[in-house]
Structure 1
Amino acid sequence: MRGFSTNAIHAGQEPDPTTGAVIVPIHPSSTFIQDEVNSPRGGYEYSRAANPTRSALQECLAALEGARHAFAFGSGMGAADVALRVQLRPGDHVVIPHDAYGGTFRIIDKVLTQWGVEYSTVDLGDVAALRDALRPTTKLVWCETPTNPLLGIADVTAVAEVAHAGGARLVVDNTFASPYLQNPLALGADVVLHSTTKYVGGHSDVVGGALVLDDDELAEQIRFTQNSVGSVPGPFDAWLTLRGVKTLAVRMERHSDNAERVAEMLAAHPAVSQVLYPGLPTHPGHETAAKQMRRFGGMVSFRVAAGKEAALAVCAGTELFTLAESLGGVESLIEHPGEMTHASVAGSVLEVPDDLIRLSVGIEDIDDLLEDLRGALGRV
């Protein structure tokens, strides 16, 4: 059985049989020749349905998650839309984390409820609470671990057992962990979602998403729906993502190294009231994360003791940490979730603290990153 980095570099990426090119070609063609009616020469007909560059990416992602099927999408939310669309019908109920990503909350709360889908928010770290939240109409449990932006941890195996006992499937958003740090299918999940914009792509230069799973019947439903709604990436986007994934393992090691040092520094800083990082022994999900993750990742959130205005000043006061949305690139980013990525949950039960800052810790020299944060914190 091949190792992770070997699969990242080789799965779906054999040298081109025509030219011998070592790197998978970009196939921009929208259509493909057919030798006879309904007899495409190379197995491809039209790029909305399938494209060779996209197929290479999908084969690689499936290998990294140890799955039979993978589907690449034009964005993480495009993947989420199809995952929800194929598994929910009017009158169905879905459970989501009490601190879910704002975009996930928005599509469920603002879009799916218009079609009769109901939802409940639960702390998925509390298995008893999840069990109590299930209804006869519950068809889906939607899990993030770690969560965005509060870095909550759910025990995937325990959540899967409860969901399956209640007749529901489990979808795990694995974006924060990446396939290198965590493999939810092996822990009992039914579907894994990634915003490949983030760690999988890794360079802040491409938007994409993915669904990965083993279930053949569900995979066919996803394939049909994806083609029907046209939620696909272009070949250049697929190629960029495939280029990025080759270095995922080495990048995640450096992200984790740096984030651990940042979390330790913040935990000792007098201007910080709380650090949210599963690698800290004080984190309530530390033991669970240590059990199901290889390392603890590159995302760190923290609360500023002096409140919202001070938090905003810290966000504006860094130099190496760029004030921007998104995460998972090689460069370090800083943001204020309440005013930026999670503004859509303001006023809801998912509203995040207004003194919260989220860091995507990059792979720069750690001493430079620590100095940058200390400087910004020292000015508030």
Structure 2
Amino acid sequence: MSYDNFETLAIRTQIDRSENLEHSVPLYLTSSFVFEDAEDMRASFAEEKERNLYSRFTNPNTSEFVQKICQMEGAESGYAFATGMGAVFSTFAALLNSGDHIVSCRSVFGSTHSLFTKFLPKWNIETSYFKVEEADKVESLIRPETRCLYVETPTNPGVDLLDLEALSALAKKHDLIFIVDNCFATPYLQQPIKFGADLVIHSATKLIDGQGRVLGGVTVGREDLIREIYLFARNTGPALSPFNAWVLSKSLETLAVRVDRHCDNALEAARFLEEHPRVRQVKYPFLKSHPGYEIARKQMKKGGSVVAFEIEGGIEAGRRFLNAIQMCSLSANLGDTRTIVTHPASTTHSKLSEEDRLEVGITDGLVRVSVGLEAAEDIIADLKQALETV
């Protein structure tokens, strides 16, 4: 029996039951798998049959997790990694050669920026950036050696939006691999492949796990591209552990109900912040004041869990705000059941120059809130009392 509804797919997609007919999928905590005889072993390594050989390659738990993400994203194939950055690095390392070129939005996760500017150049792979508000200039950055177009939407930490359909058309025109980091939206809120993406990457550590327990990453998309990524990962070893895959697969069963609550709470918090006298600007995709509101309505089901806002008083006001927080957590993670508050200019992005921070919209007073699952009134009460100190 096949299912079309997201919630049912998330719960009813699972590997075949063993002879024990377990209701919940068991853990397969094994490093390797045995063979019936010499011919079975030969045929398996020759890939004449599809089976598990070694958990660095595949494992029933990781296969189930990947299968679920593929169905949710509308992807042909996928591979799961130990972390989100493992997925990002392995995707580029598998698909690019020395001399290749990437075009990327400048608003990307800090470690991705470091990958593009510090590590890939060691292998003669260059990246050209465009700003969110200058998406019309993307085509001018494309060279004969350009291989990939890469974006996050919504972006981290400024919660800006990019038009996936328009960028996909441009990528196809120039025969580029269009890669989208869909971490902030999750497959529940946004499916970039429907808008023309070739590959979709997730840090499963965030909303997919949703409870701050395990690390994980996944890349899904076109089968021919995933094959190259799989061969790279099979030999270099960034595979997701079976235990973490089992946790993440179980987490997907509650993704829809959790993300619905995250979004409802975030929208309430954003509306409160928009009316607060000490707040200059609020960015949340489903606020009509967001510059990308129409794009959000076109490609997202709801606005997500992250709200960015700017407070008066710069870096010192940001520090005072963090120090005044009582219930919410001060952490570098996001997508947790617990609301998390960060002040990028004094913490996660403090090593960047002011010019570099402003390039990606990180002002001295920018605060990012990953809105959790607590009662919305309690989240708002904590933000309100902390704002009174700035």
Distance of 1:141 and 1:323 partners within structure 2? 33
Give the equivalent residue in structure 1 for 2:9.
7
Equivalent residue for 1:319? 326
Structure 2 residue corresponding to 1:185, chosen from 169, 193, 208: 193
Which of these residues, 256, 260, 263, is aligned with residue 256 of structure 1?
A: 263
| 2:371 equivalent to 1:361 | yes
- RMSD, aligned CA: 1.6
State the distance in 2 between where 1:126 and 1:291 align: 20
User: Which residue type is aligned with residue 114 of structure 1?
Assistant: K
CA gap of 1:350–1:110, structure 2 versus 1, over 3 A, is: farther
Residues 293-340 of structure 1 show CA distances to partners (whole Å, capped at 9, x for unaligned) of 001111001111111111111122112210001100111000112233
Structure 2: distance between partners of 1:346 and 1:151:
20
2:82 and 2:25 mapped to 1: Cα distance?
19
Distance in 1 (CA, whole Å) between partners of 2:96 and 2:102 is: 8
Q: 1:360 Cα deviation (Å)?
A: 0.3
> Which amino acid is 2:264 matched to?
D
**Structure-1 residue corresponding to 2:336:** 329
Deviation at 1:343, TM superposition (A): 4.2
Residue in 1 that maps onto 2:36: 35
C-alpha distance in 1, partners of 2:54/2:243? 16
Alignment of 1:112-151 (within 5 A): 112-151=120-159
Cα distance change of structure 1 residues 377 and 124 upon mapping to structure 2, 3 Å threshold: closer
> Which amino acid in 2 is paired with 1:371?
A
Q: Return the alpha-carbon distance in structure 1 between the equivalents of residues 344 and 168 of structure 2.
A: 29
Give unmatched runs, 5+ long, in structure 1: none
8 Å CA contact 1:308–1:355 kept in 2: the answer is: yes
Report if aligned partners of 2:158, 2:360 keep a CA contact under 8 Å in 1: no
Amino acid at match of 1:100: V
Deviation per CA, 1:12-67: give whole Å up to 9, x if none: 245x2311111111111111111123625992221111111111111111111111
8 Å Cα contact 1:271/1:306 also seen in 2: no
In the TM superposition, residue 352 of structure 1 has moved relative to its aligned partner by: 2.3
Alpha-carbon offset, residue 126 of structure 1: 3.7
The partner residue of 2:288 within 277, 281, 287 is: 281
Which residue pairs with 1:373 in the alignment?
Answer: 383
State whether residues 72 and 187 of structure 2, in contact with CA within 8 Å, keep that contact through their aligned partners in structure 1: yes
**d(CA) in 2 for partners of 1:216, 1:100:** 25
Amino acid in structure 2 at the alignment position of 1:378: E
| Distance (whole Å) between structure 2 residues aligned to residue 232 and residue 99 of structure 1 | 27
Residues 348-357 or 303-312, more deviating:
348-357
Give the C-alpha shift of residue 87 in structure 1: 2.0
Matches within 5 A, 1:1-380: 1-14=3-16, 16-37=17-38, 39=40, 43-213=51-221, 215-343=222-350, 345-346=352-353, 348=356, 349-350=359-360, 352-380=362-390
Q: Deviations over 1:255-286 (max 9, x none)?
A: 00000011111111111111111111111100
Q: Which amino acid aligns with 1:268?
A: E
In structure 2, distance between residues paired with 1:39 and 1:342: 53
SS of the residue 1:46 aligns to: coil
* Distance in 1 between residues matched to 2:39 and 2:282, nearest whole Å: 58
* Counterpart Cα distance in 1 of 2:185 and 2:352: 23
| Residue 344 (structure 1) shift | 5.7
Label 1:221 to 1:38 Cα distance change in 2 as closer, same or farther (>3 A): farther
Q: TM-score, normalised by structure 1?
A: 0.96
SS of aligned partner of 2:36? strand
Aligned length: 378
2-side partners of 1:316 and 1:18: how far apart? 55
Q: Provide the C-alpha distance between the structure 2 equivalents of 1:290 and 1:119, rounded to a whole number of angstroms.
A: 30
Distance 1:226 1:157 in 2: 30
The AA in structure 1 aligned to 2:33 is F
CA distance in 1, matches of 2:241, 2:65: 12
Q: Distance in 1 between matches of 2:231 and 2:63?
A: 15
Change (3 A) 1:52 1:270: same
Separation in 1, partners of 2:179, 2:254: 26
Aligned-partner Cα distance in 2 for 1:10–1:346: 49
Q: Structure 1 counterpart of 2:245, which letter? A: A
Runs of 5+ in structure 2 lacking a partner? 45-49
> 2:310 and 2:75 mapped to 1: Cα distance?
38
Q: Show CA shifts across 1:344-366 (max 9, x none).
A: 64463547222111110001101
3-state SS in 2 of match to 1:338: helix
Segment of structure 1 superposing worse, 282-291 or 311-320: 311-320
Following the alignment from structure 2 to structure 1, what is the Cα–Cα distance between the partners of residues 360 and 269? 26
| 2: CA distance, partners of 1:83 / 1:96 | 14
Q: Secondary structure at the match of 2:151?
A: strand
